[in-house]
Amino acid sequence: MLDLPPSDRPRERLRALGAAALTTSELLGLLFGVATGGRPATDLAAAVLTRAGGTLRRLGQVPLAALTEVPGLGEVRALAIHAALELGRRLAAEGAEEGEPMRGPRDVWRYYAARLEGLPVEEFHVAILDSQHRLERDVLVSRGILNSSLVHPREVFREAIAERAASLVLVHNHPSGDPTPSPDDRAVTSQLVAAGRLLDIPVQDHIVIGRGRYLSFAEAGLL
């Protein structure tokens, strides 16, 4: 990297032109700091991207242990990659602030896709809505394989009752990218819809987020 003219070095170009002027490998290389064993940081970054199939989305799904197998990377840099990608997800999710109306499945998908699409495991969230369909609060209920033992009505509706929710929307992701509901998805949804009727807090929908697409239980006639 030091062999390059100053104007061509990623750090100097970032100062002069902004981050948007750099390639993905250059941006990733800046996370690594000083290169190891004389290997340019951009070469190391390119090797990391190759390991992930060339995309940041897939990079976010590579386990830490697999990343550390890239020669010259190590655990500290692998942790930095995961931290940076998580910051990106959170930044994207801030594009839709709590308090905005969620009037249909696409509104829910837009809010949650950025944070859930690239996760390597399932997360089950509850969107707590007021009487105007505005998002009052997002609640993470469980992380891991979705089943009725992990997603219990008690955990879901405790927060909804505390927030005096008018209604709920259930949301979870499929790391495979295919949003087709599984038998467990259907069983959990039926259980929570029934609980919502008893508590007079209706479950409006269950959105399953895949890669670039979603499935709405309400639109599919599955509620």
Q: pLDDT, tens digit, for every residue of 24-57?
A: 888 888 888 765 666 678 888 888 888 888 888 7
- Count of Cβ atoms closer than 10 Å to residue 188 Cβ: 26
Least Cα distance to 103 among 95, 111, 114 occurs for 111
100 falls within a domain: no
Q: What is the pLDDT of residue 196?
A: 95
Q: State the CATH number of the domain containing residue 161.
A: 3.40.140.10
Give the pLDDT band of residue 109 (cuts 50, 70, 90). Answer: very high
CATH code assigned at 18? 1.10.150
Q: Is 47 exposed, middle or buried (0-12, 13-18, 19+ CB in 10 A)?
A: middle
Torsion, Cα of 22, 27, 32, 33 (10° steps): 40
**pLDDT in the model for residue 4:** 53
Domain total for the chain? 2
Mean pLDDT, residues 173-183 taken together: 92
Residue-level pLDDT at 143: 84
Is 139 found in the same domain as 37? no
Residue 161 lies in a domain: yes
Cβ atoms of 14 and 30 within 8 Å: the answer is: yes
The answer to whether the predicted template modeling score (pTM) of the entire model surpasses 0.75 is no
Which residues constitute the domain of residue 75?
A: 6-93
Residues 191 and 124 in one domain: yes
Q: What 3-state class would DSSP assign to 120?
A: coil
Say whether both 64 and 110 belong to one domain.
no
**What mean pLDDT comes out for the span 129-147?**
83
* Domain stops at, among 36, 69, 93: 93
The answer, yes or no, to whether residue 181 has pLDDT greater than 80, is yes
223 in a domain, yes or no? no
